[in-house]
Structure 1
């Protein structure tokens, strides 16, 4: 079993992540930390961990998290590889639970994800709120809402475990700033031998500390919109409309641009198949400031610390 952790300039966080991996209930593993460019503080901190299962690869220059993940997967020696972001942590039985599911899979190449604890300074919740329905298209499971708030179906990088060979066959898209795991998963499940399994237990703590720099807090809506247009074939029409009217719209709404509003709505209606919930989601995203939507979501979903 191999574990790949990309990191840069966050020695305290990556030490927490590595410690959680080394504390897993299975011992037969290697931890590959890919330092994304010169970073002496991180290298020094990791050198203080006296565990032979830890390997540190330092990239000569910054290439981004997807490139670092690809580098780690190429160096992996295990049959299986699991991904972990440096600011998240695993519960002790994560790998053991996921491997049992992997060995019971119907298809030869399973992607095994899991629920997670979504932890923010404001609230804490379990995501995703539901598991995939039998024969439900993966793109619809991951994008189509059944209520006004996200999290019905969901996948996050730190939950993903798959055969190492699959990461060689389907590398992460270098240069993509957001939705890296969605892009990777949708491309991977196009292969006939691949299936997605989601463990019903929350096995990962997803730390969304809103007072520090994180890629997921950035709002590069135009890049995400252009990726969506290039990637239409990965979605069903229903899923494509849902993604544009929820995820991309959430990024674009702070522009308060009527032109952008019409552009996204027109794309969703022309190339997708919106449902009633998508129109409601779209309107509330554009009508309400993000902080109001977040507070309302936490209250409706009963989130608390």
Structure 2
């Protein structure tokens, strides 16, 4: 490729050739064509490299790492090799709708700040239902940590950001890389740190532009429950959160990870953590209790029913392919 692309797309992948090809095709199929797609294969993976070789598009660049370093390291590697002014992240198990890049470029170019972080709504697809997330966008002056983690109801998704929805200046990805070794909340950690940089602002496209596949019968990092690791990260990152957001994260995200232990002592310890270092609200206490009282399968079905009622007037788009 001789022409410099406007946008670089970074896709980390490992041992999922069919999903990687689906993600790549959704990126190459964008209405905005002046882009490059950088797939970072996380360690030797002949099946994936062979499948990508069949794509046959000169805009595709495949980098194979010599050993596994996990998704944050792969994303950082992709950003270091990006040639576009803008870089957008895409997880290998997600898809973009065709106008995603064009719409985000439009918002980025119209931004009044030097380094806009442009996100978008998405279609969250589970085996049971489709829902559009986030359900609301940030309000003027709202602290970003509170927007992203404080719930207004008992279920997550009021405010939300997901890796496959984010486009930002390549220079910002280089200045603020992903935290290598962090298994969960990678995009939350990155977003909160990136938005502390001068000249940044979180901007959302109102329409859903990403298809987020939450296949619950497939191994996914977001299904892991490393609550001790997450508690250590939260404590070390306290300055990224307001007291209100700190309490909300503790009693929702951390609580949902720890509840599988069924340890009453841990239930109380998380309450104490939220009270000592945060400012819990009524919804936070209710969320904590329902997480520990109800099995995950029941919570998921209840969420689909409750949230689905509010999403009926929103029109999810068809599959990207």
Q: Same fold (TM over 0.5)?
A: yes
Number of residue-to-residue matches in the alignment: 305
Residue 98 (str. 1) matches residue 101 (str. 2): no
Instruction: Give the structure-2-normalised TM-score.
Output: 0.94
1:192 positional shift: 2.2
Counterpart of 1:263 in structure 2 is 269
Residue 296 (str. 1) matches residue 302 (str. 2): yes
Residue 206 (str. 1) matches residue 212 (str. 2): yes
Counterpart of 1:216 in structure 2 is 222
Picking from 59, 77, 84, the partner of 2:83 is: 77
Counterpart of 2:4 in structure 1 is none
Counterpart of 1:238 in structure 2 is 244
Residue 17 (str. 1) matches residue 31 (str. 2): no
Counterpart of 2:291 in structure 1 is 285
1:199 positional shift: 0.8
1:302 positional shift: 2.3
Distance 1:80 1:176 in 2: 24
Distance 1:220 1:140 in 2: 23
Residue 39 (str. 1) matches residue 45 (str. 2): yes
Distance 1:104 1:281 in 2: 38
Unaligned runs of at least 5 residues, structure 1: none
Residue 135 (str. 1) matches residue 141 (str. 2): yes
Distance 2:299 2:57 in 1: 45
Deviations 1:176-220 (CA, angstroms, capped at 9, x unpaired): 000000000000011121110111010000001111110011111
Residue 150 (str. 1) matches residue 156 (str. 2): yes
Picking from 178, 185, 189, the partner of 1:183 is: 189
Distance 1:236 1:128 in 2: 20
Deviates more, 1:103-112 or 1:234-243: 103-112
Over 3 Å off, 4+ runs = none
Deviations 1:202-252 (CA, angstroms, capped at 9, x unpaired): 000000111111001111111111111111000000000000000110010
Residues 113-124 of structure 1: pairs in structure 2 closer than 5 A: 113-124=119-130
Q: Helix, strand or coil: the match of 1:135?
A: coil
Deviates more, 1:97-106 or 1:181-190: 97-106
Counterpart of 1:51 in structure 2 is 57
1:268 positional shift: 0.4
Distance 2:285 2:246 in 1: 13
Deviates more, 1:60-69 or 1:294-303: 294-303
1:293 positional shift: 1.1
Counterpart of 2:319 in structure 1 is none
Residue 254 (str. 1) matches residue 276 (str. 2): no
Instruction: Give the structure-1-normalised TM-score.
Output: 0.98
Q: Helix, strand or coil: the match of 1:302?
A: helix
Unaligned runs of at least 5 residues, structure 2: 1-6, 317-321
